[in-house]
Structure 1
Amino acid sequence: MELQQIIKTATDNSISYQEYRDLVATHTENNTNTGAEVTEALANYTMLNNQRMKRLDKTMKILPENQEFLSAFDKEVYFLIITESWCGDAAQTMPMMNKVAQAAGVDLRVVLRDDNLDLMDEFLTNGGRSIAKLILINKETGLPVTTWGPRPTTATQLVADEKAAKGVLSPEFKEELQNWYNKNKGKDTENDLLNMLKAV
């Protein structure tokens, strides 16, 4: 199947950000998770992510200096995001993706990775199925303009440095990364997405 058709099929079966939030909340209530593998650990991450996104949806704000550009944004594109409920990076970045999309009047659609492996495998990161992955799609051609993810620029560098030094990401490092996200308050993600939209 060609890329255009893969993207169309995924988009046709996608859900809105609010529907995704409701889905994660339901999994939290049921002590389950999205994805091919359901485990206690992934269900726990899902519960944490539900709380995290609930908080970030309320507290994240677009910087006033970015609001003007986003309000005037008029390109015919939409955000297609690949994620799963258990992904910590996704929970830290998706609320800001949603705020940017709303401010720019851009439609945001969400698909689950394990239900859309054809799509995921077109947008690997260093050969891996890393999420969250945002694909900016041209509405007219149905083809990707660019992609973003799975992490904002600074977090990507932190992870790369850790992997280079130790080969793996320890639980301690993952906690440090979440602390970095908490302090950053979505600003890196906001700047990355602004730069992406300015380049369109």
Structure 2
Amino acid sequence: MKNIADLFPLSVTKTAYSYAEYMELMETVVLENRTTGPKQSEDMNYYTKLNLSRMQRLNKKVEITDELTSAIEQIEIPQTWFILTEAWCGDAAQNVPVIAAAVLSNPLISIKLLLRDENPEIMDQYTTDGGRSIPKLIAVDEEFNELFTWGPRPEGAHKLLLQYKTNSAAGGPVQTHKEFAADVQRWYIADKSESVQKELTTILEALLVEK
């Protein structure tokens, strides 16, 4: 178990958002017709609006499985689950609300959200295939010992991304980014958050066995 306290100085933890605060941020940037992060564009504003709608829907309708609830409830030490994210990220919109809902059954767990582009020192320690892919969940105990990580997306959705990249590199059937995003959204709708919940359950159950 590695200690990562140096990645989370007080200046960083003080700027972290609770989930409620992050939802307020989402609402604010949508009202202002912008997104989070330094890159601004019409497309990113469009995806941010979609993401807010998806998160609001999941906040009301997501159902946490008995298996994940049981694993969450067996956690006996205080911990913080930091999530690197941005408002324009479609994978974050689909997965962060599920994680936030799951931890409600255990008051020992707090969720804190950090904007990726404001925290490159952290993000660069948790890249995926060399990229700053989000969302990225980093769970730590009170001494900032890393307990586990998850992200940036369930395996099924990640396979879609890899196939998209492979086709593009090989000169095969190439989708536009909007077409690819629509395919991923259809995958998430069909999956009904089952994959992220199963993956988190597997991680937590393994930790409980090690305890």
Q: Which amino acid aligns with 1:117?
A: P
Deviations along 1:77-133, one digit per CA (max 9) or x if unpaired, are 221000000000000101101012212331000010111111111111111111111
Provide the TM-score with structure 2 as the length reference: 0.87
Count of residues in Structure 1 that have an aligned counterpart in Structure 2 = 198
Q: Does the Cα contact within 8 Å between 1:159 and 1:169 map onto a contact in 2?
A: no
1: CA distance, partners of 2:186 / 2:112: 28
Which residue is 1:8 aligned to? 9
Alignment gaps of 5+ in structure 1: none
2: CA distance, partners of 1:143 / 1:64: 28
2: CA distance, partners of 1:83 / 1:69: 24
Q: Does the Cα contact within 8 Å between 2:79 and 2:139 map onto a contact in 1?
A: yes
Shift of 1:159: 1.8
Give the superposed CA RMSD: 1.8
Shifted more, 153-162 versus 21-30: the winner is: 153-162
1: CA distance, partners of 2:86 / 2:175: 19
Q: Does the Cα contact within 8 Å between 1:16 and 1:110 map onto a contact in 2?
A: yes
- Aligned partner of 1:66 among 65, 68, 75: 68
Deviations along 1:132-164, one digit per CA (max 9) or x if unpaired, are 111111222x13222111101211122223323
Q: Where do 1:181-196 residues align within 5 Å?
A: 181-196=188-203
Provide the TM-score with structure 1 as the length reference: 0.91
Q: Does the Cα contact within 8 Å between 2:71 and 2:204 map onto a contact in 1?
A: no
Shift of 1:71: 2.3
Q: Does the Cα contact within 8 Å between 1:92 and 1:181 map onto a contact in 2?
A: yes
C-alpha distance 40-173 of structure 1, shift in aligned 2 (>3 A): closer
Q: Where do 1:84-103 residues align within 5 Å?
A: 84-103=86-105
2: CA distance, partners of 1:69 / 1:5: 29
1: CA distance, partners of 2:129 / 2:67: 34
- Aligned partner of 2:142 among 126, 139, 145: 139
Which residue is 1:177 aligned to? 184
Shifted more, 159-168 versus 76-85: the winner is: 159-168
Report the 3-state secondary structure (helix = DSSP H, G, I; strand = E; otherwise coil) of the residue aligned with 1:199.
helix
Q: Which amino acid aligns with 2:164?
A: E
Which residue is 1:57 aligned to? 59
- Aligned partner of 2:158 among 150, 156, 159: 156
Q: Does the Cα contact within 8 Å between 2:84 and 2:123 map onto a contact in 1?
A: yes
1: CA distance, partners of 2:94 / 2:6: 30
Q: Which amino acid aligns with 1:197?
A: L
User: Runs in 1 of length 4+ with deviation above 6 angstroms?
Assistant: none
Percent of pairs with identical residues: 34
Report the 3-state secondary structure (helix = DSSP H, G, I; strand = E; otherwise coil) of the residue aligned with 2:126.
coil
Shifted more, 94-103 versus 84-93: the winner is: 94-103
Shifted more, 108-117 versus 170-179: the winner is: 170-179
Report the 3-state secondary structure (helix = DSSP H, G, I; strand = E; otherwise coil) of the residue aligned with 2:9.
helix
Kindly name which structure, 1 or 2, has the bigger radius of gyration based on alpha carbons.
2
Report the 3-state secondary structure (helix = DSSP H, G, I; strand = E; otherwise coil) of the residue aligned with 1:111.
strand
